[in-house]
Copies of this chain bind each other. A is one copy, B any other.
Amino acid sequence: MKILITGGAGFIGQRVAKRLLERGELDGKPIDEIVLLDVVRATFDDRRVRAETGDISDLKVLNQHIDTDTEAIFHLAAIVSGQAEADFDLGMKINLDASRALLEVCRAKGHAPRVVFTSSVAVYGGDLPAIVQDDTALNPQSSYGTQKAIAELLLCDYTRRGFVDGRVLRLPTISVRPGKPNAAASSFVSGIIREPLNGERSTCPVDGDTRVWLLSPQRATDALIAGCEIGRAALGNRPIINLPGLSVSVNEMVEALREVAGDEAVARIDWQRDERIEKIVVSWPGAWNTERARAAGLAGDASFAEIIRAYIAARS
């Protein structure tokens, strides 16, 4: 089978590709080719991988890389929350128009491929219950969350009509991300752990009581692949699954860092509130009901200290 990963040069895209290659199969079928499509070329040392560059909002690019052999698509490419808030048109173009274009190309090809679409805590917002339920209304308080919520609705309708076999996996905030800070409002959620572990200073822009809903990169990768393999019937009339997370306050994250790496690591965090970031982050849920995900066999992490230890192990 042939698989397309948009945002394939990105952090999660790379991990999904690596994991798929290790497995050698998806949904019981051997993997012949994985196309990694991104604005920058992915580097991957495996003859089954083809790395391509292109703008996914360009129908020509999508038409070139999706054909009737493309049985599964992981649509991960996105403009992150902070950037979509700063550049409204760019967010609309990539998060909304490109997602719709991808669905339209699939519809035109007519083979109804599996499409795994990653969504986010950011689709929720406003006055939320302590634990968000599967039937809690979306009220996004950012343009990123709005665009993700719209793409979800499109995917669900294209699925209902049989144009694609789609499933939305709503991700908690991923922590600890490797690499550099990015333009996501949630960038600090990785930064305040990663930078201190690397001997660097990092700024926490929100109050320590702020509650976040986290998933490790390892668990997220496994969940995306497992989510792709869930059968159509199990999804019913609502092909959306809220992935399990860990509900921790920023203070609890810091205490886990202290437990794993000591006081000197914690001392590298500077506390300086940034209203623009805080406003977005506090609008997200601190926890949601995970029954549906667990029934589908999708698991979260046991503790934040374990997440930090897994990050350290993967780094070395």
Contact = CB atoms under 8 A, between A and B. Distances in A.
A182 interface: no
A146 B140 contact: no
Interface residues of A, number: 26
Copies per assembly: 2
B141 A237 contact: yes
Contacts of A203: none
Nearest to A237: B126
A215 to B, nearest CB: 21
A41 interface: no
A141 B239 CA distance: 12
Given A138-B137, A149-B153, A143 B126 contact: no
Given A134-B137, A136-B137, A146-B153, 8 more contacts: A126-B237, A135-B136, A138-B153, A139-B237, A139-B238, A146-B154, A150-B150, A150-B154
A160 interface: yes
A157 interface: yes
Interface string A126-163: 11010000111111110100100110011011001100
A88 interface: yes
Given A137-B134, A137-B138, A143 B125 contact: no
25 contacts: A125-B237, A126-B237, A127-B135, A127-B237, A127-B238, A134-B137, A135-B136, A136-B137, A137-B137, A137-B138, A139-B237, A139-B238, A140-B153, A140-B156, A141-B160, A141-B237, A143-B157, A143-B161, A146-B153, A146-B154, A146-B156, A146-B157, A149-B153, A150-B150, A150-B154
